[in-house]
C-alpha cells in the first residue's frame, strides 16, 4: 500500500501541531552557528512544502523532493498561491538526482525514519554527500527510540475537524525496531456531504545515534552535532526528536 496517496488530502490539517515556524528559526540559528550562508537548499522529503515554502518566502532558493505525487501536487498548488518559483521533483530519497550541488540539504519531520533498511539509508547519505557543497551542511531529524517506546508505544490517537477525522493505531516492534502506524481517515465530500473512508499503513525505523553516526561515516560525512529538538543541548535519554548536523569529511 503506497503511503500518502490519500493522506495528502488532509495532511496539512492534521499536522498543524508541528512547529514549522520554530524549525525555520532553528535552521537559521544552526546556519549562523556553523557559519553557513546558504543560497540553494534541497528539502529532501518535502511533503506538501511546509518547510520549503517558508524558506523560499525568506529569499532562499529551494528544491523540493518527494516520492509522493499527491504531496507534491499540494506543494505546487500552495507555491503558486504564494507566487514562489520552487523546483519540485518527484523522486525517491534513495535514488534522487540533481543537476548540481546545493549549499544545504534538510530532511525534516522524521523523513529519515521512513528509510527502513540500513543499506538504503547509507545510500541516501552517499547521495547527500554527492550533491552537497564541500562546506555545506546536512541537517535532519529523527523520531527517537524513546518516543517510539514510551510516547507512541501501543497507543491509539484520534483527531476530528468540521469535515474530517482520523484515527491512528500505533505498534512498536522492539526486536525489529520498526514502528507501525495504522491510520483511518474520513473526508466529507463537498457535494454529496457523505464521508469517504481511507486507510494507510506507515512504517518508521528506530535508529540509535551511534548507528546514524556509523552510516554517516561510511558515506564520508562528518557528524558535527546531535541536538535535542530546537536547542543546542545534547540529546537526552528522553528526547523525542533529535536533530543531526553533518558535513562532508574533507580529511
pLDDT tens for each residue of 116-125:
999 999 999 9
Residues 101 and 32 in one domain: yes
The answer to whether 112 and 144 have CB atoms below 8 angstroms apart is no
Residues 168 and 136 in one domain: no
In a domain, 2, yes or no: no
Q: Indicate whether 104 pLDDT > 60.
A: yes
Query: Using one digit for the tens of pLDDT, what is the confidence trace for 26-71?
Result: 999 999 999 999 999 999 999 999 999 999 999 999 999 999 998 9
| β 195-205/221-228 pair status | unpaired
Q: How many domains does the chain have?
A: 2
Residues 97 and 214 in one domain: yes
Residues 153 and 116 in one domain: no
In a domain, 65, yes or no: yes
Residues 112 and 192 in one domain: no
Which residue segment(s) compose the domain that 165 sits in? 147-205
Residue 185: its pLDDT value, please? 79
Residues 175 and 217 in one domain: no
Instruction: Residue 52: give its domain's CATH number.
Output: 3.40.50.150
Residue 27: its pLDDT value, please? 98
Residues 30 and 134 in one domain: yes
Residues 224 and 197 in one domain: no
Residue with cell 548536523: 245
Residues 213 and 192 in one domain: no
Q: Across the strands, what pairs with 31?
A: none
Mean pLDDT along residues 154-166 = 83
Residues 113 and 228 in one domain: yes
Residues 68 and 170 in one domain: no
How far apart are the two ends of the chain, measured CA to CA in Å? 43
Q: Indicate whether 1 pLDDT > 60.
A: no
Residues 237 and 130 in one domain: yes
Q: What is the DSSP string of 121-133?
A: HHHHHHHHHHHEE
pTM for this prediction: 0.92
Instruction: Residue 185: give its domain's CATH number.
Output: 2.20.25.110
Name the nearest CA neighbour of 196 among 15, 1, 4, 6.
Answer: 6
Residue 158: its pLDDT value, please? 84
Query: Using one digit for the tens of pLDDT, what is the confidence trace for 183-192?
Result: 887 877 778 8
Amino acid at each position: 500500500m503506497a503511503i500518502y496517496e490519500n493522506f495528502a488530502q488532509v495532511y496539512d490539517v492534521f499536522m498543524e501541531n508541528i512547529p514549522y515556524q520554530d524549525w525555520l528559526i532553528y535552521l537559521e540559528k544552526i546556519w549562523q552557528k556553523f557559519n553557513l550562508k546558504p543560497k540553494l537548499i534541497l528539502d529532501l522529503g518535502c511533503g506538501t512544502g511546509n518547510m520549503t515554502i517558508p524558506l523560499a518566502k525568506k529569499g532562499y532558493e529551494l528544491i523540493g523532493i518527494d516520492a509522493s505525487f499527491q504531496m507534491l501536487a499540494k506543494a505546487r498548488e500552495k507555491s503558486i498561491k504564494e507566487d514562489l518559483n520552487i523546483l519540485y521533483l518527484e523522486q525517491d530519497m534513495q535514488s534522487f538526482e540533481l543537476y548540481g550541488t546545493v549549499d544545504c540539504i534538510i530532511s525534516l519531520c522524521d523523513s529519515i525514519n521512513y528509510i527502513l533498511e540500513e543499506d538504503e539509508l547509507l545510500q541516501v547519505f552517499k547521495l547527500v554527500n554527492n550533491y552537497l557543497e564541500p562546506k555545506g551542511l546536512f541537517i535532519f531529524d529523527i523520531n527517537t527510540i524513546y518516543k517510539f517506546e514510551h510516547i507512541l508505544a501501543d497507543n491509539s490517537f484520534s483527531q476530528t475537524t468540521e469535515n474530517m477525522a482520523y484515527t491512528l493505531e500505533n505498534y512498536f516492534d522492539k526486536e525489529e525496531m520498526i514502528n507501525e502506524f495504522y491510520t483511518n481517515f474520513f473526508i466529507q465530500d463537498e457535494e454529496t456531504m457523505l464521508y469517504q473512508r481511507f486507510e494507510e499503513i506507515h512504517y518508521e525505523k528506530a535508529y540509535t545515534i551511534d548507528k546514524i553516526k556509523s552510516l554517516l561515516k561510511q558515506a564520508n560525512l562528518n557528524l558535527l552535532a546531535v541536538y535535542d529538538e530546537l536547542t543546542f543541548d545534547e540529546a537526552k535519554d528522553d528526547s523525542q526528536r533529535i536533530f543531526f548536523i553533518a558535513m562532508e569529511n574533507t580529511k
